[in-house]
Amino acid sequence: MTHSRTLAAVGALGLLTVTALTACGTDTDSPTATTTSTAPIPITYHPCDDLSFDALAQVGFDLEHDRTDRQNPISHGCTFAHIDPGYGATFSARGMTFDSVLADERLVEYNRTTINGRDVSIAEFTGGSNCFATMDIEPGIFQLSVTYSPTSDRPDEDVTTPEQACGEAERILTALAPHLPDRL
């Protein structure tokens, strides 16, 4: 397996972990879980189909990608490897609210900002090696996950700290924001 494919696999695993934890939570262990049944938030945007591959290439991504689709909440994801520095990144359109992401106690927010006129939260996921840049786009969220590897054998070439990952997440989301839709 190539280094870029390994990074993409790590990014996909990180997103899968977060998605599974969010989807499998109970009233007592997940701040986003509720006891009422609500209709899923419909999301039609899919980063693998709708995100500008030209824009991704311009900010350093290898265009080979892995596609994921999940239910409860609806999540359409696309994972890529970034070349320099090295890391895996997953772009997801998710059927959940921005407020539910902010309320998730497993996320430690580094920065709250506005990018391209939209609310954004940049936060480290404490249950893994990811930083999430979450943008509020109706009816759900657009989320970018950047992996970091504190045990990398190539620390001069890879993202190795949460600070680096969160800096990359904000930089990439800022560059791609003009290419994102008005609605997911």
Instruction: Supply the DSSP string of the chain, one letter for each residue.
Output: --HHHHHHHHHHHHHHHHHHHHHH--TTT-TT--SS--PPPP----HHHHS-HHHHHHTTEEEEEEEEEETTTTEEEEEEEETTTBEEEEEEEESS-HHHHHH-TTEEEEEEEEETTEEEEEEEETTTTEEEEEEEETTEEEEEEEE--TT-S-TTTB--SHHHHHHHHHHHHHHHGGGS-S--
Question: Judging by DSSP bridges, how do beta strands 87-94 and 140-147 pair with one another?
Answer: antiparallel
**pLDDT for 30 beyond 50:** no
For residues 19 and 76, is the Cβ–Cβ distance under 8 A?
no
- The stretch 58-78 carries a mean pLDDT of 92
What is the predicted pLDDT for the residue at 2?
A: 45
Tokens of residue 81, six digits: 């490897």
What is the predicted pLDDT for the residue at 3?
A: 45
What is the predicted pLDDT for the residue at 57?
A: 94
pLDDT in tens, 154-165: 999 999 999 999
What is the predicted pLDDT for the residue at 37?
A: 52
Of the pLDDT bands very low, low, confident and very high (cuts 50, 70, 90), residue 24 is very low
Handedness of CA 144, 79, 83, 155 (dihedral sign): positive
* Domains located in the chain, CATH noted: 53-177 (3.40.1000)
What is the predicted pLDDT for the residue at 40?
A: 84
List all residues 6 or more positions away from 27 whose beta carbon is below 8 Å from its beta carbon: 33, 34, 35
Of the pLDDT bands very low, low, confident and very high (cuts 50, 70, 90), residue 127 is confident
Of the pLDDT bands very low, low, confident and very high (cuts 50, 70, 90), residue 8 is very low
Its pTM stands at 0.79
